[in-house]
Amino acid sequence: MQRAVLELPEPYALEETLFSGQAFRWARHGRSVEGFLENQPVRVTRRGRSLTVRGRFEGDLEGAVAAYLRVSDPMGQIYRDLGKDARIRAATERWSGLHLLAQQPFETTVSFIASSASNIPKIARSIEKLCRSLGEKKTFDGRRAHAFPTASRLARADLATLRGCEFGYRARYIKSAARAVAEGQVDLDRVARMPTDRAQETLVEGLDGVGPKVAACVLLFAMGKDDAFPVDRWVQRCVSEWYFDGARVTPKRCEAWGREYFGPRAGYAQQYLFHERRGGRVRSRPASRAPSG
DNA sequence: CCACGGCCTGATTC
DNA sequence: AGAATCAGGCCGT
């Protein structure tokens, strides 16, 4: 069992970040949050600015947390760079400390293939089921934890298993994309070293179920391509309303506009606009409906 | 290049 | 109550 203590920089909005919809496997457990770093189960506890991470971890745990949470991002500089108008300034001020993450590329790819025309709680459920049925079993504090399956394991899985995870029509995309990665037709480590445009193109052309939006999410949330600008319905809507006076904007134009307007930190702008538009982090369980009578 | 319908599925809305 | 509609899109036409 390893243990690492990390001093969080100011500002760092830990829960807003972990539950902002970039990552799907963190869960609150009492005062702690449980999830995975480098696909190994850990528990994270925050006391003030101090972050304690525990887990049966192979490798440099402190380095892994710091890298994952991107604690060295110069938020002050980022906010200054992005502060081009009242809208984005309001968003960065309100959600100050919200960070991008540096996640595992393959897991992120599969997760965002699963995200298409879906919603966050459902994506999280599907991913959890996937890990339970195909992921390596690990133990953590006497509890079972399941790592995210490898590409080759996923590629060999039969479609029925994936359907069982409620991926719906995305199941065949996931299997196909996993095969492309497992067979080396798409080398995610190599993609991560490409310039953003070529990296995005490579993902879209090489992986079924990956279009511009999903590819941009992988680039932004797992490959440190901070100039990527994923355009989903929320971002498209708020860009239309806030920057185009309500005029309709196609996703492609919206992406080009965002990258041009916000520049090298466009990805951070997207994250704050998205968060602002949705009104904060995702609730861990869906809101219960008020009784009708 | 853009527009459109179809796709699994569960939650919400009408 | 049961039917549409919508959800962090993508694919084929």
Look at residue A285 in the predicted model and tell me its pLDDT: 43
My answer on whether A59 and A117 are in the same domain is no
My answer on whether A112 and A35 are in the same domain is no
Q: Say whether A175 is catalytic.
A: no
Number of domains in chain A: 2
Report, in angstroms and rounded to the nearest whole number, the Rg of chain A calculated over CA atoms: 19
**A179 in any annotated domain:** yes
**A65 in any annotated domain:** yes
CA of A119 to C1' of B5 (A): 21
Question: Domain holding A22: CATH number?
Answer: 3.30.310.40
My answer on whether A4 and A127 are in the same domain is no
User: What pLDDT band is residue A283 in, cutting at 50, 70 and 90?
Assistant: low
Q: Is the CB of A125 under 7 A from strand B?
A: no
User: Which residue gives the smallest C-alpha to C1' distance to B10?
Assistant: A122
**A99 in any annotated domain:** no
Tokens linked to A126: 């599907």
My answer on whether A117 and A226 are in the same domain is yes
A53: closest CA among A16, A6, A9, A98? A6
**A77 in any annotated domain:** no
Instruction: Give the nucleotide at minimum CA-to-C1' distance from A118.
Output: C7
My answer on whether A64 and A116 are in the same domain is no
Query: Could you tell me if A219 and A200 are in contact, meaning their C-beta atoms sit under 8 angstroms apart?
Result: yes
Look at residue A286 in the predicted model and tell me its pLDDT: 37
Q: Is the CB of A234 under 7 A from strand C?
A: yes
| pTM of the shown model | 0.96
CA diameter of chain A = 58
**A93 in any annotated domain:** no
Question: Domain holding A127: CATH number?
Answer: 1.10.340.30
State pLDDT tens for residues A25-72. Answer: 999 999 999 999 999 999 999 999 999 999 999 999 999 999 999 999
User: Which residue gives the smallest C-alpha to C1' distance to C6?
Assistant: A117
Q: Is the CB of A166 under 7 A from strand B?
A: yes
Residue bearing the bigger pLDDT, A105 or A291: A105
My answer on whether A151 and A45 are in the same domain is no
Q: Is the CB of A281 under 7 A from strand B?
A: no
User: What pLDDT band is residue A290 in, cutting at 50, 70 and 90?
Assistant: very low
My answer on whether A123 and A246 are in the same domain is yes
Half-sphere exposure of residue A221, counting CA atoms within 13 Å on the CB side?
26
My answer on whether A59 and A120 are in the same domain is no
My answer on whether A130 and A240 are in the same domain is yes
Look at residue A212 in the predicted model and tell me its pLDDT: 97
**Look-up: residue for tokens 């309303």?**
A241
Q: Which among A137, A213, A225, A252 is annotated as catalytic?
A: A213
CA of A119 to C1' of C8 (A): 7
> Once rounded to an integer, what is the mean pLDDT over residues A214-238?
97
Collapse the DSSP code of A206 into the 3-class scheme (helix H, G, I; strand E, B; otherwise coil) and give the result.
Answer: helix
State pLDDT tens for residues A116-152. Answer: 999 999 999 999 999 999 999 998 888 889 999 999 9
Domain limits at A110? 105-277
CA of A287 to C1' of B11 (A): 10
CA of A64 to C1' of B1 (A): 43
